[in-house]
Amino acid sequence: MCDETLKPMPRIGDKAPEFKAVTTQGPINFPADYSGSWVILFSHPADFTPVCTSEFITFASLEQQFNQANCKLVGLSVDGLYSHIAWLRTIKEKIEYKGMKNVEVNFPLIEDITMNVAHLYGMLQPGESSTKAVRAVFFIDPKGIIRAIIYYPLSLGRNFDELYRVIIALQTADAFSIATPADWQPGDDVIVPTAGSCGVAKERMESKAEDIKCYDWFFCTKKIAKEKVLSTILKK
């Protein structure tokens, strides 16, 4: 077994592992080049495959929406640069999918024929495939810290509404010092952090503050208007 396979997989709260690589947009130094931005680093199993093609068309079509939320996109597979370039050209010139056509992929796609980055990020999961990366998604904050990770198997295309929701929810939690409940969307009530002591919790439960609703001492919510969330997070 080679050394790289023994590296521990990065976890939520870890610093994003550093690497330099060649991409379809030139060389990158990751995550340093993305300092100050959120970034989604995602892997796909292989170029010229159908699920991956549907995902790339969808992601590229949504790129501006992610950029408006100060989030950049970086893709990776263990294919080489010329394969990436040929695949992205085919996507632009030949594929129309769900009304999306002439789609240009302007975000970098990393070539990783050595599998160095795939190993570093735990994207190779031998129970699923030892030659192709799974569909991993790393959400990395402006300080280079991994804030969320989602893995999908080869056969399951990602839900891009969910990826966008995660970016908005993470930023909302940071901006307003709150947490977000199940299925949260901007405009829905948010969770007020649990108070440090029972006394404080009781006081809060009995509080007449109109914007706080308590279901029990450990579960209180408040409203943050959708416009307030979006105007805080999205670039004008």
Q: Which is nearer to ligand BEZ, 66 or 152 (CB)?
A: 152
Contact 149, 143 (CB under 8 A): no
From candidates 12, 15, 35, 50, binder to ligand BEZ by CB under 6 A: 50
Q: Measure the CA–CA gap between 194 and 200, rounded to whole angstroms.
A: 9
By the rule CB under 6 A, 154 interacts with ligand BEZ? yes
Q: How far is CA 44 from CA 7, 84, 225, 228, in A?
A: 20, 12, 36, 35
By the rule CB under 6 A, 233 interacts with ligand BEZ? no
Q: Measure the CA–CA gap between 46 and 36, rounded to whole angstroms.
A: 30
To the nearest whole angstrom, how small is the minimum distance from the Cβ of residue 100 to ligand BEZ? 17
Size of the site for ligand BEZ (CB under 6 A): 9
Question: Considering only CA atoms, which of 109, 152, 148 is closest in space to residue 133?
Answer: 152
Q: Is position 220 annotated as part of the catalytic site?
A: no
Q: Measure the CA–CA gap between 56 and 82, rounded to whole angstroms.
A: 17
Residues between 185 and 204 with contacts to ligand BEZ, criterion CB under 6 A: none
- Site stretch for ligand BEZ (CB under 6 A), options 4-12, 49-57, 64-72, 158-166: 49-57
By the rule CB under 6 A, 137 interacts with ligand BEZ? no
Pairing of strands 109-111, 71-77: parallel
To the nearest whole angstrom, how small is the minimum distance from the Cβ of residue 54 to ligand BEZ? 8
To the nearest whole angstrom, how small is the minimum distance from the Cβ of residue 124 to ligand BEZ? 13
By the rule CB under 6 A, 153 interacts with ligand BEZ? no
For tokens 């609703």, the residue is: 213
By the rule CB under 6 A, 122 interacts with ligand BEZ? no
24 class by beta-carbon count within 10 Å (0-12 exposed, 13-18 middle, 19+ buried)? middle
Contact 142, 109 (CB under 8 A): no
To the nearest whole angstrom, how small is the minimum distance from the Cβ of residue 95 to ligand BEZ? 13
Binding site for ligand BEZ (CB under 6 A): 45-46, 49-52, 132, 154-155
Q: Which residues are catalytic?
A: 52
